[in-house]
Amino acid sequence: MPNWELETELVAAGAQWILGLDEVGRGCLAGPVTLGAAAFRADDIGSDIPSDLKDSKQLSPKRREALMEPLRSFARALAVGECTNEEIDEWGISACLGIAALKAIHTVAEELAIEEATIILDGPHDYITPALSMLDAPELSFTPRVVTRIKADGSCASVAAASVYAKVTRDRQMDELAAAHPEWSAYGWAKNKGYGTAQHRAAIRENGVTPYHRLTWHLT
């Protein structure tokens, strides 16, 4: 279950704002990669955590959806940043993870007038700092401190909140895309959300690609 242990350590070290970040869609064959951000002020750390909050992968779609309203009360701000499949093809997934993360950070920083922040990033690698120097990255008024933590989406309350928010947001987007294009029903996006299931790969072999597929990826 997620807790405030790491966030508490960071606040004790002087952090005034904590932003939990997590991604969804990294391994998909179609659609964007999406980064969620959940922002908390230092005095929020230690507050009650929504009872059902977990790593989004451990929750059913219904339970993730049910958490959206509690998360809006839990965090000071929530946001997502995305890079499209075309941007992934052009820049590569690592660069796009960083740019999408900076988009999400920029959104919450503007909303809350944040002038410094410590980022807790799920996973072992800091892909945010390299993205700061990319021409297509949004500008921040501060240089964030990035702390990486493997499986932070399951252990850190701020990252778990970002994980669920990002997952629900992207899943809704893929559902809307599937509904808008019934001619693409063979790809099964309403069910697989763009991931490389056997059905999805078989449909690509039979029908070819759509404008939403990542053409530089091994699709079949």
* Residue 55 clears pLDDT 90, i.e. is over it: no
Model pTM score? 0.96
Secondary-structure class of domain 5-179 per CATH: alpha beta
* Residue 136 clears pLDDT 90, i.e. is over it: no
- HSE-up of residue 187 (Cα within 13 Å, Cβ side): 29
Q: Which residues are annotated as a binding site?
A: 22-23, 122
Q: Which residues are annotated as a binding site for a divalent metal cation?
A: 22-23, 122
Q: Which residue has the higher pLDDT, 169 or 139?
A: 169
Task: Please state the domain extents for the chain.
Answer: 5-179
pLDDT in tens, 8-45: 999 999 999 999 999 999 999 999 999 999 999 999 99
